[in-house]
Every structure is written in structure tokens, then in C-alpha cells.
Structure 1
Amino acid sequence: MTSTNIKLTYFNMKSLAETMRYLLKYGNIEFIDSRIDGEEWSALKPNTPFGELPLYEENGKVVSQSVAIIRYLGKKVNLAGADEWEDLEIDALVDTIKDLQIKLIPYAHAKMADNKEKQEELKQIILSETMPYYLKKFESIVIENNGHFIKDKLTWADIYFTTNVDIYNAVLDMDVLEKYPDLLKLKNKVEEIPSIKAWIEVRPETEF
């Protein structure tokens, strides 16, 4: 599948846009990977739907909201659920993965502010409570579903989880899946998909 009418606009980082890039690459969909800096964003922001990135443009129509875009692309590349209930399960899992991401934001802010005391306090809670709570549950789901989040098959939830793990690792400066072999296998499986692997090898090097 190819298209020259798709444009993805975000900063020069993986973060919220990388799942979209993975899905587009998975579907062999051509797109413009527009990476902008702060000055360009200041000029563009007043003309965006809600003053947020990433932006997804297709055939001249533009939307924001990352998970909505990712859900749309998941359907577009045939990685949605087999029925409405599976779609609901995927949505619930993705919202929970996003919940975990949100719980890391206070620590990320303390890290950027170089507040060592607050960093240490928050990191202890994250490592002893937050991450184990979520990752143990995710691991159980993946084991139950034979290596995936939904019924032993690849869905966009697997890809969303994979790219979010990169965010967790970058924020916490560690491999969060070290004690979760089945989640690590899932991540590796996604990253070994030929079109995604090829993208990883050539994408710009960024921390986040």
C-alpha cells in the first residue's frame, strides 16, 4: 500500500509519534515524516486544530490526538480486533498503557528540573510500586494470549506497547522489561517485523 498524500508532523523525537511511524511502515504506506523545531512549531501552532502535536494529514484533512490517530492507522493496516469486543479490549489495554505513561510525567518533570531529591523520591515509588503493578499484569495478559495482548495475534496494542517501552526506558534510564521476559519477547517480535526493523535501522537517533 502506498500513498503520497499522508504527512505526519511532530518534533524530532520518537515519543508520541513513533507508534504512528511503526504502523505506517508496517502497512508499507508512504508518508512525509515532517520533524519540526520549536520555532517552526510556534509559527504552526495557531493554525492547528487544538494547538497540539502530532498532526496527521491525509488528502488535505488534518487531525490531532495521538491515540485516535493510532487507532485509525491500526484499522488501516489491518491490526484492529476481529470484532467489536476485541476492539474494546484493545482500547482498554491502550488506555491502561497510556495511564502508566502519564504516571511517569511527574518524575520526568523533576528530572528536567534537575530536582535530585524529588527525582529520587518519585523514582523509588515508580520502581517499587508503579512499574511492577502494571508490568506484572501486562505480562500475565501476554502469557495468557500466547505472546500477544489479544488472542495470540499481532494488533496495534502490541505496537503501542512496544514504542511506549522505549519512552519508559528513556525516562527511567533503565531496561524496564529486564524482569519480564514475555513482554520483552513481544517487544522484540514487533521490532523484528521486516518493515519496522528496516525503519529502526534508518530513523534519526533521538533520546526520546
Structure 2
Amino acid sequence: MPHYKLTYFNVMGLGEPIRFLLSYGDLEFEDIRVERENEWPKMKKSTVFGQLPILEIDGESFSQTLPICRYLGKQLNLIGKTDLDALKIDGVANALHDLRKNVAMFYRETDPVIKKQRKEESVNVTVPFYLDKLEELAKTNGGYFHGGKLSYADIFFVAIHDSIANACEIPVTENRPSLKSLREKVLALPGIKSWIEKRPKLQF
């Protein structure tokens, strides 16, 4: 079995979907958490594109959350049966990545005026738009985002759920029964359930 080492900040963020997938697959991994203020600037130049997360597989470094998640999804049979299935699933995962980025834009903003403006737009317009689209997808695909079965996009959604809920201060799945059911199903998966129980308790 390959040796996995994930390096990211001590937040859920873009590292959590990777942690969820590794946990789902019962793949043991080193969970390295970098201190953002002092440690990260020193190591940034040595990373592939000056960004985290980085997943090392048997000592070789790979970067960017979505390709890493897709790779793990393929290893774990979570990208559907055909290339068109994978295309649909990748599209959902990319949309989820965009949603999380939109929330991060206001959450990380240091100017209080800009932060308030961005948060209001995100919470009132952007986030509900995405969540309603996702609800409809789950509703019309047998409780999952594609094909009536679990994919890495479903796991990605549940992995970013808490960050979005905490940052936006909204109940993400309220009045969205398909998303609520999907989240419950993913959280009940043995590997993910075990990860949730032992992971650090963080807000974002």
C-alpha cells in the first residue's frame, strides 16, 4: 500500500476533502499541519506551485485539491463507470470548489467593510444559489449528485459543509432534505465517521 503524507494548514479548508477521501478508503496518512504565519513562508518556495495542500505518495509530491481528489476518487471507484460519468462528477466537484472559494473570500478578508459586503452577497445570493442547485441534483439522482450512487463529489460536499455553515452562520441543509440525507449517509460511512471523531475541532 502506498504511503500518504498530506501537508496543509491547521484548518479544514481545502485539506478536508482529501482527508475525507483517504479516511473513506481506510488509507493511512500522515496529517501534517503547517503554521501559517511563521512556518509556511519558509517552505512556500519549495512547494510545487507555492500552495497547499500537498499530497505526497511514496515520497513524490502532488498539488492542487481537485486533481488530488479526482485521483483518490478513481483509486476508490468513486468517479462513475464511464468517462461521461466522470465528467459530470468532476463538474460537481469543481462547482463545490468554487462555492468554498467564494465563502473563503469573505472569511479571510481583513477589511471589515469589504468583509461585511462580501459576506452579505455570499450568504444571501451566491451560497443559496449553489445549495439549491445541489439540492435539485441530489433530489433527481437518487440521493446523490450523480448516477444514484456515491461519488467523490458527494464526499467533497460533506467535507466542506462545516466550513460553509460556520463561516456563513447558516444551517446549510435546512429545507433541503436531499442534501440533509446525503450528508447523513456520508457521515455514517465507517472511515469518515472514525475521522470525524478524532479530527481537530475547527471552525473553517
User: Structure 1 length as normaliser, TM-score?
Assistant: 0.90
What 5-or-longer segments of structure 1 have no aligned partner?
A: none
What is residue 174 of structure 2 aligned with on the other side? 178
Distance 1:130 1:136 in 2: 10
Q: Which is worse superposed, 162-171 or 9-18?
A: 162-171
State which of 159, 170, 188 in structure 1 corresponds to 2:184.
Answer: 188
State which of 33, 36, 48 in structure 2 corresponds to 1:35.
Answer: 33
2:148 aligned with 1:157: no
- Secondary structure of 1:207's counterpart equals coil
| Cα drift, residue 74 of structure 1 | 0.7
Post-superposition Cα deviations, 1:169-202, rounded to whole Å, max 9, x if no partner, equal: 1211222221212111111111110111011001
State which of 26, 46, 49 in structure 1 corresponds to 2:24.
Answer: 26
Q: What is the correspondence of 1:81-92 to structure 2 with a 5 Å cutoff?
A: 81-92=80-91
What is residue 194 of structure 2 aligned with on the other side? 198
- Secondary structure of 2:6's counterpart equals strand
Distance 2:157 2:34 in 1: 25
State which of 120, 126, 150 in structure 1 corresponds to 2:122.
Answer: 126
Q: 1:34 to 1:141 in 2, by over 3 A?
A: same
Distance 1:121 1:36 in 2: 30
| Cα drift, residue 124 of structure 1 | 3.3
| Cα drift, residue 125 of structure 1 | 2.6
Post-superposition Cα deviations, 1:108-134, rounded to whole Å, max 9, x if no partner, equal: 244x44x1x444433333333222222
Post-superposition Cα deviations, 1:36-78, rounded to whole Å, max 9, x if no partner, equal: 2132222222211111101110112101111111111111112
Distance 1:40 1:188 in 2: 36
Q: 1:175 to 1:71 in 2, by over 3 A?
A: same
What is residue 94 of structure 2 aligned with on the other side? 95
- Secondary structure of 1:141's counterpart equals helix
What is residue 46 of structure 1 aligned with on the other side? 45
Equivalent pairs counted in the alignment come to: 203
| AA partner of residue 185 (structure 2) | K
What is residue 74 of structure 1 aligned with on the other side? 73
Q: 1:121 to 1:44 in 2, by over 3 A?
A: closer
User: Structure 2 length as normaliser, TM-score?
Assistant: 0.92
| Contact 2:162 2:203 (C-alpha < 8 Å) held by counterparts | no
Post-superposition Cα deviations, 1:142-163, rounded to whole Å, max 9, x if no partner, equal: 0111110011100000011111
What is residue 16 of structure 1 aligned with on the other side? 14
Q: 1:49 to 1:129 in 2, by over 3 A?
A: same
**Identity of counterpart residues, as a percentage?**
37
2:134 aligned with 1:138: yes
| Contact 2:89 2:146 (C-alpha < 8 Å) held by counterparts | yes
| Cα drift, residue 168 of structure 1 | 0.9
